[in-house]
């Protein structure tokens, strides 16, 4: 099992985001975290960037592409987005990018709230295994994991990121 | 028996036929899911893609506007395709007609039947004979059950009061003929309401009503004293002809909900009614339109509750129940 220094990763992400937003002239972004882990990461970034507007929270359960295979998620929660996303620069935050299916679902949901000017994607971890043409604009850390390895974010307090082998006891 | 037809061996809701026999966990899951659908109606696009590609049939053997429309809106907000089929019930060959209709609709690859029928047990019958991939929702069968109405009433109470376990709730009106009352009573007692009362004239209360776990009152002042919620029932006008009641006027005098009668309830008591309203028969206009009335909220909440039931039952046909991927 190995643990990451999450505070360092988050500080680097905040710097990269600040640069990217300045470069693109997106000075008033609307930050949206994907439940559950993405919201924890977004809460930290939101504070580091000193954003004034409240954080949006997205629940993608009604937009998943595997409903016919796994049914409704056992714990569904409502999304809470500011109603007006029209013409806003959205800063979408998730914990782990793997297949890209969560991000696809999140984009679909955001567009049902309105037509944003842009969407920037920031993820804490890109663990590979992409199945869709979706890449993050800002990546905290990119890891390559073996077939038996997993990565897991636990939180919200303390927020810890660990990778472990699925065969280790306790997991 | 009934709950095994409704709930599969994994505890998933397969059909919704009655609130009777559903566990508190299942009822709470439905209410929690409905809560997450509330916001959908307030967005720019009032739709989620959850049931895209599913076909839902409103199979109505009895006229209805509100229930049919809210089921229709629920299906559309879930992106399902919906067919409305209104069939005047023929008394002669009901069993055969029902099965034939069912087989024909199944041949069209429909995924869900929302059934309203004047005969008690019709939705059960259809659920027993439907293909395994089909879910059946009871939208009212005879005097038996109207579970989505009962559930939306629970949802309305929970949104206002949060907790069921300290409430006094009175159901007032034609208990004898009311499928709504039966669904409300089973849901209220299962959710832990300690004091459920039914208030009606002797002719409109079923024999041995106490066995349902309710307290029976024939007098409004006693029945409404200190209650937190008053749930009125519609007085079906055809009951007048059966000799069960002397006149609408007299019914209103003794059982119509007025501010005067409501005064013995708690000051913040909630007033509910499943609609359609008979103003001046079971409820005074100023009460129906008053500050404590939740009647129009019930209609809005009915859409979210029906969305929840539709997505839970159709989701129960999923092959596995593992978590998804990132």
Domain positions in chain A: 2-65+78-165
Shortest alpha-carbon distance between residue B145 and chain A (Å): 26
User: Residue A170's Cα: distance from chain center in Å?
Assistant: 26
Substitution target in A34, A68, A85 with the highest count of B β-carbons within 10 Å is A68
> Are B325 and A101 in contact (CB < 8 Å)?
yes
Residues in chain B where the model's pLDDT stays below 50: 1-3, 91-92, 321-325
> Are A112 and B33 in contact (CB < 8 Å)?
no
Burial call A113-146: b when 16+ CB within 10 Å, e when fewer: bbebeebbbbbbbbbeeeeeeeebbbbbbebebe
Substitution target in A59, A62, A116, A125 with the highest count of B β-carbons within 10 Å is A62
Whole-angstrom CA distances from B123 to A106, A153, B136, B146, B148 are 37, 46, 7, 10, 13
User: What's the pLDDT score for residue B240?
Assistant: 65
In the stretch 293-312 of chain B, residues with CB closer than 8 A to chain A read 311-312
**According to the CATH classification, is domain B147-299 in 1.10.10.10?**
no
B29 CB-contact burial (10 Å; exposed 0-12 / middle 13-18 / buried 19+): buried
User: What's the pLDDT score for residue A149?
Assistant: 87
Token representation of residue A124: 């804490």
Substitution target in A67, A79, A110, A129 with the highest count of B β-carbons within 10 Å is A67
Distance separating alpha carbons of residues B283 and B234, to the nearest angstrom: 9
> Are B316 and A71 in contact (CB < 8 Å)?
yes
* Cβ neighbours of A73 in B, within 8 Å: 324
Which class would CATH give A2-65+78-165? alpha beta
* Cβ neighbours of A80 in B, within 8 Å: 39
* Cβ neighbours of A75 in B, within 8 Å: 32
| Cross-strand bridge partners of residue B171 | B198, B231
User: What's the pLDDT score for residue B2?
Assistant: 43
* Topology (CATH) of B2-144+301-315: Rossmann fold (3.40.50)
Of A97, A98, A108, Cβ closest to residue B49: A108
- Distance in angstroms between the alpha carbons of the first and the last residue of chain A: 11
What residue in A sits closest to B314 (Cα-Cα)?
A71
B249 CB-contact burial (10 Å; exposed 0-12 / middle 13-18 / buried 19+): exposed
B288-299 pLDDT, tens digit per residue, is 999 999 999 999
User: Does residue B36 belong to the interface with chain A, where contact is any CB pair within 8 Å?
Assistant: yes
CB contacts < 8 A (A, B): 82
Domain(s) labelled CATH 3.40.50.1370 in chain B stretch across: 2-144+301-315, 147-299
Whether the CB-CB separation of A95 and A125 falls below 8 Å is answered with: yes
Q: For tokens 């000075």, name the residue.
A: A27
Of A62, A69, A114, Cβ closest to residue B48: A62
Among B317, B319, B320, residue whose Cα is nearest residue B134: B317
- What is the interface pTM, i.e. ipTM, of the complex? 0.79
Distance separating alpha carbons of residues A100 and A86, to the nearest angstrom: 24
User: What's the pLDDT score for residue A83?
Assistant: 65
List average pLDDT for each run of 10 residues in chain A, which is 171 residues long: 90 96 92 95 96 92 86 80 87 96 95 93 95 96 88 92 77 49
> Are A78 and B37 in contact (CB < 8 Å)?
yes
Distance separating alpha carbons of residues B189 and B48, to the nearest angstrom: 33
């Amino acid at each position: 099992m190995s643990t990451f220094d999450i505070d360092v990763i988050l500080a680097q992400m905040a710097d990269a985001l600040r640069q990217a937003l300045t470069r693109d002239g997106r000075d008033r972004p609307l930050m949206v975290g994907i439940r559950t882990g993405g919201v924890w990461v977004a809460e930290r970034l939101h504070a580091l960037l000193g954003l004034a507007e409240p954080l949006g929270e997205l629940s993608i359960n009604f937009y998943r592409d595997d409903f016919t295979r796994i049914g409704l998620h056992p714990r569904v929660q409502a999304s809470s987005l500011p109603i007006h996303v029209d013409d806003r620069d959205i800063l979408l935050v998730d914990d782990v990018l793997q297949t890209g299916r969560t991000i696809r679902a999140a984009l679909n949901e955001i567009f049902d709230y309105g037509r944003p000017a842009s969407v920037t994607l920031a993820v804490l971890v890109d663990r590979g295994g992409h199945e869709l043409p979706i890449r993050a604009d800002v990546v905290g850390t990119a890891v390559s994991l073996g077939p038996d390895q997993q990565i897991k974010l636990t939180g919200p307090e303390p927020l810890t990121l660990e990778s472990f082998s699925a065969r280790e006891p306790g997991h | 028996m009934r709950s095994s037809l409704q709930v599969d061996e994994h505890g998933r809701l397969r059909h919704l036929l009655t609130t009777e026999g559903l566990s508190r966990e299942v009822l709470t899951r439905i209410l929690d899911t409905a809560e997450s659908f509330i916001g959908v109606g307030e967005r720019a696009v009032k739709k989620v893609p959850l049931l895209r590609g599913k076909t839902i049939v409103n199979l109505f053997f009895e006229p209805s506007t509100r229930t049919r429309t809210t089921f229709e809106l629920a299906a559309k907000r879930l992106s399902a395709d919906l067919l409305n089929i209104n069939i005047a019930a023929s008394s002669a060959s009901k069993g055969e007609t029902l099965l034939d209709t069912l087989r024909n609709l199944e041949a069209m690859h429909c995924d869900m039947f929302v059934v309203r029928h004047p005969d008690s047990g019709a939705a059960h019958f259809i659920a027993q004979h439907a293909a395994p991939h089909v879910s059946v929702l009871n939208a009212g069968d005879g005097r038996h059950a109207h579970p989505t109405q009962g559930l939306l009433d629970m949802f309305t109470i929970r949104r206002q009061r949060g907790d069921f376990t300290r409430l006094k709730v009175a159901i007032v009106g034609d208990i004898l003929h009311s499928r709504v009352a039966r669904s409300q009573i089973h849901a209220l007692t299962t959710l832990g309401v300690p004091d459920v009362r039914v208030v009606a004239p002797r002719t409109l209360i079923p024999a041995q009503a106490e066995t349902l776990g309710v307290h029976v009152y024939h007098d409004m002042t006693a029945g409404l004293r200190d209650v937190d919620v008053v749930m009125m029932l519609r007085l079906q006008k055809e009951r007048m002809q059966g000799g069960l009641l002397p006149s609408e006027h007299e019914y209103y005098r003794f059982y119509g909900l007025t501010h005067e009668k409501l005064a013995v309830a708690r000051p913040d008591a909630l007033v509910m009614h499943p609609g359609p309203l008979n103003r001046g028969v079971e409820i005074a206009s100023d009460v129906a339109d008053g500050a404590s009335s939740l009647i129009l909220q019930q209609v809005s909440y009915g859409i979210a509750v029906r969305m929840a039931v539709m997505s839970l039952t159709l989701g129960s046909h999923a092959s596995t129940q593992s978590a998804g991927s990132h």
